[in-house]
Structure formats: structure tokens, C-alpha cells
Amino acid sequence: MATSDDICATMDALGLRFTRRDDGRVQTGFAGRNTDYTLFLEADGPLVSVVAPELARIPASRMREAIELANLLNASRLRWGNFWVHPTFRVLAFELAIIAPGELTSDHMGYALAAAHACDDYFPAFGQVIWAGVTAEEAVAALSQGRSDDTDDEPDVVEDDDEVGFDEVV
């Protein structure tokens, strides 16, 4: 059964910086090539939830297309985790659940962080949909054309003590 202590110990072992919050969640931040994002990790028995709660705010006029893009990416591109759009707060988020029935390992955390890298990888597509007004299909096509698989840029961990402001959903 994973606990927040296990999450902290695993992140320590991996050399990652993090903040343990009063509500039991563990917070860490990343500076990627395309966007900076904050992750919250929370243990609940064998389940460890990893959430990037507020990747972008979505104007009401672009909600439908942003939801279509999230669904398209979830169905066709993501191996782990999923994007979702909160209908009331109109924000884009990413979430992953890890089952760690025994001990939480660095492998579990490695999978979580690799999956969360999708926040940075697919941010340009969401940017195109949200701010440039392109369709979900056009945004995915642009990703395929502009993607270079010979770059292994990993996001940098950053210290982020700022509140994200989306606690009521996470």
C-alpha cells in the first residue's frame, strides 16, 4: 500500500525535488520545451494518482475542439494517462493512475514521469486548437509533421511553491 512517505522516498531516491503539502499530496514542477507544468502525486492504498491539474485555460468558444483533441490524443497517441477538460472550470488537465499493490518503486515513478511528459509533448497541439483556432485533426497532423524523434529533451524539474489554484478538482 503506497503512502505519501513512499512517494517522497522514491522521489528522493531518483534525485527529484518536490514539496510535501499539508493535504498529503506531493508536488513537483517541470520546465519542458513547450510548457512548464506542475504535478501532484497522491497515494490512496495501492493507487497512486498523478495529476497535472491546470495545463491551460480554454475559452468557451474552443471547448468542443479542445475536448475533441483530448479524446483524439487519448485514443491514438497516449500509452499511459489521459488528458481531460473540466467543463465548469474550462481547464485542460492530465491524469495517470498507477497501481502499486506492494511497494512503490522507482520503476513505478519512472512510468509516471514518462507518461506526464505528454503534458509537454502535446502542448503545441492544444495551443494550436485553443489559441490559433485549428481543428483537432489539423493539430495532430501538425504534430506529426513537426516532430523530431531524434531529440531526447527531458523536462527539467523546477521548484514550484506557487499554488496552482485548482485544488477543488484535484
Q: What are residue 41's DSSP bridge partners?
A: 26, 50
Give the pLDDT confidence score for residue 153 in this predicted structure.
Answer: 54
Q: Is the pLDDT of residue 168 over 60?
A: no
Among 49-58, 86-95, 99-108, name the one with the lowest average pLDDT.
Answer: 99-108
The number of C-alpha atoms within 13 Å of 60 and in the hemisphere containing its C-beta is 1
- pLDDT digit string (tens) for 8-45? 999 999 999 999 998 889 999 999 999 999 999 999 98
Give the pLDDT confidence score for residue 162 in this predicted structure.
Answer: 46
- Mean pLDDT for the chain overall: 87
Q: From CA 135, how far away is CA 86, in angstroms rounded?
A: 19
- Higher-pLDDT residue of 149 and 52 is 52
Q: Is the pLDDT of residue 157 over 90?
A: no
Please tell me what DSSP assigns to residue 60.
G
CA 141 vs CA 27, 85, 92, 137, 150: distances in Å: 33, 21, 20, 6, 19
Give the pLDDT confidence score for residue 156 in this predicted structure.
Answer: 56
Q: Is the pLDDT of residue 52 over 90?
A: yes
- For residue 43, the SS3 value is strand
Give the pLDDT confidence score for residue 101 in this predicted structure.
Answer: 86
- pLDDT digit string (tens) for 129-144? 999 999 999 999 998 8
Structural domains in the chain, CATH included, are 4-151 (3.30.1460.10)
Q: Is the pLDDT of residue 165 over 50?
A: no
